[in-house]
Structure 1
Amino acid sequence: VLVRGENRVKLNGVHGACAARGRSLFQRCGQRFLVAPPGTSRIVGGREAPEGAWPWQVSIQIQSRHHCGGTIVSSLMVLTATHCFHKYIRSHFRVVAGLNLLSAPGNQTQIRSIREVQMHKDFNTATSDNDVTLVLLSSPFKFSDHIQPVCTPHNVTHEFILNFSHCFITGWGSSYYRGTLKNRLQEAQVELIDRRTCNLITWYGGIITENMICAGLESGASDSCQGDSGGPLQCYSEDEDRFYVVGVTSFGHMCGLRRRPGVYARTSRFSFV
């Protein structure tokens, strides 16, 4: 049952931060086995992601066509955006993990149907506030080098002390406004933007709520776009040597505009317990 308490979404019985282990009982969430930890070089704009670089990224599809992104937070649970499901027939959906090329899934991919969609009951279609949804799968993913769960911050305080050094957005979305989907998974490095800055009149003019976080570049050179909705904004904690999903791709004013960064549902405001 999806309930609300202290501005957090709760899913009874499952803790999303590390609810499911991988190949062994002691494996931690938020780790990549096919790509080294991020270095200090700057990535501006998007580039093709290496194979297996983001093992928690999934493609949520409607009859085999990519619709939205999502993030694995346990073997049976995927985090995504409510607006991805709000006006659609859920029986037509499926979730594909371990995917890099949309046109060529490969042997490492796993496909699951959806058992239940738990949309946040306070989702606001006008403001996009509380744009988070939990997708419960019909059967669990089998974790591998290509398929892993990400970590989730326990709360806002925990998010602050994680001391993130690198943040990335990923997805198969278009590289320009109203463009076509990308066949290969894309990645771009972004900066977290203070809410006060993002709410300035010359930015978003006060529409960014406490349940949202902005990320990108002031210049607009690095941004999410159509087709990236529901996917992860993930940040690396050097102290813990693992990735956390900090945001769920929600909305933005067009794509790549100056002072109009991507807006994400802030996961530290939502708890999965």
Structure 2
Amino acid sequence: MMGGLCSQLALLLLLFPAHGAVESQDQPVFSRIIGGQDVQEGKWPWQVSVQEDDKHVCGGSLIAAQWVVSAAHCFNPSASPSQYRVVLGAHQLANPSPHQVTREVQQIILQPSYNKTSSVADIALVRLEKPVTFTKFIQPIALPGASRQFPVGKTCWVTGWGRVEVGKPLPTPKTLQQLEVPIISTAACNDRYNSLNPNSPLGPERIKSSMLCAGYTDSPKGFCNGDSGGPLACEEGDTWYLAGAVSWFRIRNVRGELCSDPEFPGVFTRLMAYDSWIQG
């Protein structure tokens, strides 16, 4: 998928069609799962589908009976919460399960420090109109708190329903995908991104302490359009923690098509950095 010469390396912020599109060398791109595998039903019971006007646009994670965490860039600031809904307990989006439920959205709270240019604070809380009842297929994921750290090299899982190749949507029946990814240090992640654009107007620390890097630098496996806001889930002991929310990924232009760059890991919003805001 990554073969061929690149005319230039770019990093884009691709907004949903209704929102317009902005192109910039230092903007992030939404995310999808590439090189993942089908998920067994019920394996990731906190995964949700965030839908706008009845169409899947992003992922998210259930953290309480009435609350979901997603990415701030998933939501159109001019749209009403009533334009969104959240599907919980889903497995195949094109083949609704008897275990899934749908909730209308009562409120969308963007992190006050969110900056779409730098992707700082790319996190949102979604309040469901009515609480859900927990089942085998609908369960919240634990929050990591403010001090829990996930060591470099630890493998975690990212999940979602996004595209699987450039220009290729997830095929019907649109089964949830999973991908195992290792945690990468902030310093190493910055070194990698700075090697591309050392004079970036965003400065040498493109990856902030409130961000978390995970993925590969030598593999086409990764994520791009459609799975933003979805979970980076890490297991410790017998507990799964929400370490991050999918935020952005470096891409490159291959013969006019946008591809995830195999030499750059993905970037997540680090949940630990926003624990007090979430709890509040």
Partner of 2:47: 57
Q: Secondary structure at the match of 1:114?
A: strand
Residue 74 of structure 2 is aligned to residue 70 of structure 1: no
Cα deviation, residue 202, structure 1: 2.5
C-alpha separation in 1, matches of 2:271 and 2:234: 12
Normalising by the residue count of structure 2, what TM-score does the alignment of the two structures yield?
Answer: 0.76
C-alpha separation in 1, matches of 2:125 and 2:41: 26
Partner of 2:181: 190
Partner of 1:16: none
Q: Secondary structure at the match of 2:272?
A: helix
Partner of 1:15: none
Q: Secondary structure at the match of 2:188?
A: helix
- Mapping of 1:86-235 within 5 angstroms? 86-87=76-77, 89=79, 90-155=81-146, 157-160=147-150, 165-182=154-171, 183-200=174-191, 201-202=194-195, 206-235=205-234
Normalising by the residue count of structure 1, what TM-score does the alignment of the two structures yield?
Answer: 0.78
Distance change >3 Å, CA 256–CA 58, structure 1 → 2: same
C-alpha separation in 2, matches of 1:259 and 1:204: 14
Whether the 8 Å CA contact 1:61–1:68 is kept in 2: the answer is: yes
The letter for the 2-side match of 1:52 is G
Q: Select the residue among 251, 259, 265 that pairs with 1:261.
A: 265
Cα deviation, residue 165, structure 1: 4.8
Cα deviation, residue 116, structure 1: 0.6
Whether the 8 Å CA contact 1:202–1:259 is kept in 2: the answer is: no
Distance change >3 Å, CA 159–CA 86, structure 1 → 2: farther
Distance change >3 Å, CA 178–CA 264, structure 1 → 2: farther
- Any unmatched runs of 5+ in structure 1? 1-43
Superposed structure 1 runs of 4+ greater than 2 Å apart: 163-166, 176-179, 201-206
The letter for the 2-side match of 1:135 is V
Q: Secondary structure at the match of 1:96?
A: strand
Partner of 2:244: 247
C-alpha separation in 2, matches of 1:207 and 1:124: 13
Whether the 8 Å CA contact 2:154–2:183 is kept in 1: the answer is: no
Cα deviation, residue 178, structure 1: 4.2
User: Deviation string for 1:205-256 (max 9, x for gaps)?
Assistant: 531111111111111332122110010011111xx31111111111112254
RMSD: 2.0
